[in-house]
Amino acid sequence: MNSTIRTVRAAVGALAAAGLALGLTACSETVDQVDKAVDETYEVTYEVTGDGVDTIEYHGGGGKAMEPKIETVEQPTLPWQKTVTLRGIMPPAVMPIAVDITGAEVTCKIVYQGEVIKQETGAGLAAAGGCVAVSPIAD
């Protein structure tokens, strides 16, 4: 895996330099090329706690790194937990949304290999706690 990470970092550096010269569209294409080169998968677990959560949106593993497919759960039962398999440099992300006139508190976590890699809490009239982490493959 370490050699894969070194190879990816070198490829990202070279491709990023080329992408800067070609502009924003080329940058997006560069990310797609790197994402295809890094075909390794990894698992994360999303956790959401709190009250009054109306929806939870999360990256479920479909789509591309720059355009992940968003999965949605309406009126989830809390605490909520979901383990997903992601690929390459796709970032793990979970976005619980609560709209509650009495105030709401929402906490989200992203767990990778037993360790919390991102945690956020949102509170208030419209709480939108969101967690987005860097892919552990790209780290």
Tens digits of residue pLDDT in 56-69: 999 999 988 878 99
Question: What is the Cα–Cα distance from 7 to 10, expressed in whole angstroms?
Answer: 5
Sign of CA dihedral 51, 97, 111, 47: positive
State CA 60 to chain mean position distance.
9
Residue 6 has pLDDT above 80, yes or no: no
Give phi and psi for 55, each to the nearest 5: -145, 155
Lookup: tokens for 61: 């593993």
**Share of residues in the chain with pLDDT > 70 (%):** 67
pTM of the model: 0.72
Q: What is the pLDDT of residue 137?
A: 83
Residue 94 has pLDDT above 60, yes or no: yes
Residue 21 has pLDDT above 60, yes or no: no
Question: What is the Cα–Cα distance from 139 to 137, expressed in whole angstroms?
Answer: 6
